[in-house]
A and B are shown apart, each in its own frame.
Chain A
Amino acid sequence: MTDAQFAGKVALVTGASGGIGRAAALRFARGGATIVCADVDEDGGHETVSLVAAGGGTASLVLADVSSESDVESLVDITMHEYGRLDIAFNNAGIGLFGKPLVEITEDEYDRVMGVNSTGVFLCLKYEIPAMLQSGGGCIVNTASKAGLVGDAGLSVYSASKHAVVGMTKTAALEYARKGIRVNCVAPGVIDTDINTPFWQANPGAYEEFSKKPPMGRMGTAEEVAEAVAWLCTDDAAFVHGHAMSVDAGLLAE
């Protein structure tokens, strides 16, 4: 992979204020893309933009809640208005709900998790696809999860939301395969980012336990997931379509 593989491209990253989203924004920027960062966290978003600039790249921040249709519509409109094109979209914004048994999950919690993780991805696909068609094609990567391929105790609604992302990824891929838009998702395993912080805090000792679980004996880093996302958007991955790419240190192999 060369440093300029994304030169001239415009990449939209949701959930760019931290974690995997930030790592992906930085990775795409290193490859020469202009980045539109989207998030609800303004401070984190500005920091990502600064980090991109410090690395010599170009980025802007649009505050957007992906569970809001008007926010997502504006986000894509602003991107097209500012930059005239959309080549890459990393639909990564997501929230967790870990460690609660199904029968204890409230309607509000259900709605919130599904709203951001599933409806959010739907809305992003809905508005990004026409923009990409206008731009002559593009590449979309959605953040699913290992929990989008299998279940786990304490993850019922999160897993449901991420399975839905896998379903939408496959379907969108089939719909746009011949129209120049490649759609895939990444399925990270246990990655050391802030989405897990409430769970570690509520479960002392869990951080160490989960660190040892993957066959590799450690958690993944946001950068490792970002590398996979970036690769999926290069021409090297031109035949990868409708795929759920596991980045999980072998968790799903066992």
Chain B
Amino acid sequence: MGILDGKVAVVTGGTYGIGRAVSVRAAAEGAKVVIGARGQQAGIDTVKEIEAAGGEATFIATDVAKADEVEALIGGAVATYGRLDLACNNAGIGGERKLIHEVSEEDFESIMALNLRGCFVCVKLELQQMLKVGGGSIVNMASANGLIGTALFTAYTASKHGMVGLTKAAALEYATQGIRVNAVCPGGVETPLFTETYPVGSESRKTAEDFHPIGRIGTSEEIAAAVIFLWSDKASYITGTCLTLDGGLTAT
């Protein structure tokens, strides 16, 4: 028996990297998983992987930067499974490495629209559904960059800091209504997003790995484990916090 038996979970950006690991693990723990992401084929593949392992999942094409698509995602989850208990707002992009004065307004807007405003829209709609069932647990996928800065990633850092603030405020608003809202702040994680920015074998990759006191970056499965934990009743007294998984990056 899985610890998420009978629960319905939405995972945005759930078709690759951390999101995919969350979707797969959640299904393995008994949740019915609704995956919202942009890539149709990746969505189909992820659902197939979950079903092959005996789990249950649905894919709904979603661009979280578009509010009507988020509405369709949440609405679709409820229409399919009758309720919403859990959410992992993970969809996000990193952006190009640029000094702040080189970042165009369009660049900044597009990252904020997806990473932060998208998260806000998701949280808003998820909360409405969770209130109907008397409770729930939301995990926003922030980043170590929601706590500290990194040169050349201004917009990403701002969006993730924003996500942390949003998480705390939402947690305070719904704390007495059975809904817990937390953020996970990963350090470097072996994902396509990370590899895009730090190609395997590159100097920048080695620097990024060394930047982690334990000498390695994390795996998507390690991050997914934290999401599952925060979703579970074991975390019943945890709300409004940033759970950091970063091999010691922000400890120093």
A interface, CB within 8 angstroms of B: 150-153, 215, 252-254
Contact = CB atoms under 8 A, between A and B. Distances in A.
Interface in B196-224: 213
16 contacts: A150-B250, A150-B251, A150-B252, A151-B251, A151-B252, A152-B252, A153-B213, A153-B252, A215-B151, A252-B148, A253-B148, A253-B149, A254-B148, A254-B149, A254-B150, A254-B151
Interface centre among B149, B150, B213, B252 (most CB of A within 10 A): B252
Interface string B140-156: 00000000111100000
Interface in B237-252: 250-252
Nearest to A155: B252
A-B interface, 8 closest residue pairs, ranked by CB to CB distance from nearest? A253-B149, A152-B252, A151-B251, A150-B252, A254-B148, A151-B252, A254-B149, A150-B251
Nearest to B250: A150
Contacts of A153: 213, 252
Contacts of A152: 252
Contacts of A215: 151
Contacts of B250: 150
Interface of B: 148-151, 213, 250-252
Contacts of A150: 250-252
Nearest to B211: A254
Nearest to B149: A253
Contacts of B251: 150-151
Contacts of B252: 150-153
A43 to B, nearest CB: 36
B73 to A, nearest CB: 35
Given A150-B251, A253-B149, 14 more contacts: A150-B250, A150-B252, A151-B251, A151-B252, A152-B252, A153-B213, A153-B252, A215-B151, A252-B148, A253-B148, A254-B148, A254-B149, A254-B150, A254-B151
A253 B250 CA distance: 10
A253 B148 CA distance: 5
Contacts of B151: 215, 254
Interface centre among A152, A153, A215, A254 (most CB of B within 10 A): A254
Contacts of A254: 148-151
B146 to A, nearest CB: 13
A52 B15 CA distance: 67
A106 B22 CA distance: 45
B91 to A, nearest CB: 26
Nearest to B249: A254
Contacts of B150: 254
A254 B249 CA distance: 9
A125 B36 CA distance: 56
B100 to A, nearest CB: 13
Contacts of A253: 148-149
